[in-house]
Amino acid sequence: MSITTLLDIQYPILKGVMAQISTHKLVAAVSEAGGLGILSSINLKPEEIREEIRLTKKLTSKPFGVNLMLHSKDRDQIVKVVIEEGVKIITVSGGSPKVYMAWLKENDIKVLPVIHTVQEAMEMEKIGVDGLIAEGTESGGYIGETTTMTLIPQVTKQVDIPVIAAGGIADGRGLVAAFALGAHGAQMGTRFLACEECPIPQGVKLALVNAKDTATIVTGRKRGAAIRSIKNDMLERYAHLEFAGAPEEELEKLTLGSFERAVVGGDMETGSVMAGQIAGLIEEIKPAKRIIEDIMDEAHGIITQLKI
Ligand SMILES: Cc1cc2nc3c(=O)[nH]c(=O)nc-3n(C[C@H](O)[C@H](O)[C@H](O)COP(=O)(O)O)c2cc1C
């Protein structure tokens, strides 16, 4: 089944959840434009998530999703709110939604977990999820080890459910490539950071527009929680200290609160902005609608011209 049919959306484009950034305005703009917006539940109390869902519904009558981060201590309450508010799509990060599957299916909710390996993909298919978001290491935020180019064909070879490719996709060429590798759609995060409706300071959006292909850095690999962000002196210092075996407390002092410092306060020096390697391709801050239309136009143009 196509992802557009499965999720009842117009275009096979998902705006990946972005912690504290994927709020109602951005989510509604993407869904209104025919893609799928996904609300973040990170650091929000269940009642705040309910409010975000209601605010999103005021801006669009089209489908949107909510992301469930399984590390959240409020996860049971979050699932309850999603069900009560009638949201029909949930993406899941940070593990397996196995314990919630019966409850979610009873309520006719489509479940799409984020996976980073073929093994995880096969386990998720077994528990009855509706589709997978297979995320390559190029992506912004918490990352796995395998690249999108290698992960997608290996996952799509092993599972029969729809796979959405994530990581390193920001234009029509990337979308067509994802389909060529067997995916049914693409999830993008970094591209939507430089979006007019994205609630981050303009300076951070401009930093993305100015970013080059080598603009990102991965920190946290040593402690098993690798994160890709836009490089700055603070993160380079972190990486250096991490490599040298500095104690965890010293590392934490540098990054504690750094994401908020950047995405709320616009501090790109001691703050850190998670972003993917595809940041170097972003040249313009555009409304969500134009981002999606441009990607689809380019993708259709490529499909008709491909000669192999
Ligand atoms: C700023 C930022 C925050 C993110 N936060 C989350 C998150 O909270 N949970 C999650 O599962 N993925 C998160 N992601 C990953 C995105 O949902 C998406 O899968 C990823 O950005 C796709 O790769 P791309 O950045 O190359 O487009 C984040 C990505 C970015 C750029």
For the chain, give the percent of residues with pLDDT over 70: 100
User: Of all atoms in ligand 1, which is nearest to the CA of residue 93?
Assistant: 11
- Confidence category of residue 222, pLDDT binned at 50, 70, 90: confident
Q: What is the pLDDT of residues 37-51, one digit of tens each?
A: 999 999 999 999 999
Mean pLDDT of 92-97: 97
Say what the pTM is.
Answer: 0.97
Average pLDDT, the chain: 96
Q: What is the pLDDT of residues 276-291, one digit of tens each?
A: 999 999 999 999 999 9
User: Of all atoms in ligand 1, which is nearest to the CA of residue 189?
Assistant: 21
pLDDT over 90 (residue 31): yes
State the pLDDT at residue 1: 87
Answer whether 111's CB lies under 8 Å from 95's CB. Answer: no
State the pLDDT at residue 189: 98
Alpha carbons 82 and 278: distance in angstroms, whole number: 32
State the pLDDT at residue 276: 98
State the pLDDT at residue 192: 98
From 13, 14, 18, mutation site for ligand 1 pocket: most ligand atoms within 8 A of C-beta: 18
State the pLDDT at residue 307: 85
Mean pLDDT of 224-239: 95
How crowded is the C-beta side of 112, counted as CA atoms within 13 Å?
A: 32
Mean pLDDT of 135-155: 98
Distance (Å) from CA 308 to ligand 1 centroid = 33
Alpha carbons 277 and 282: distance in angstroms, whole number: 10
State the pLDDT at residue 7: 98
Mean pLDDT of 131-136: 98
DSSP count for the chain of H helices, then E strands:
14, 11
Alpha carbons 195 and 145: distance in angstroms, whole number: 28
Pocket of ligand 1 from Cβ distances under 6 Å: 16-19, 21, 40, 42, 67, 93, 114, 135, 138-141, 166-169, 187-191, 193, 274-276, 278
Alpha carbons 227 and 68: distance in angstroms, whole number: 19
State the pLDDT at residue 308: 80
Instruction: Identify the CA nearest to 128 among candidates 101, 89, 95, 91.
Output: 101
Q: b/e string for 31-58 if b means 16 or more Cβ within 10 A?
A: bbbbbbbbbbbbebebeebbebbeebbe
Instruction: Identify the CA nearest to 176 among candidates 292, 294, 301.
Output: 301
State the pLDDT at residue 292: 98
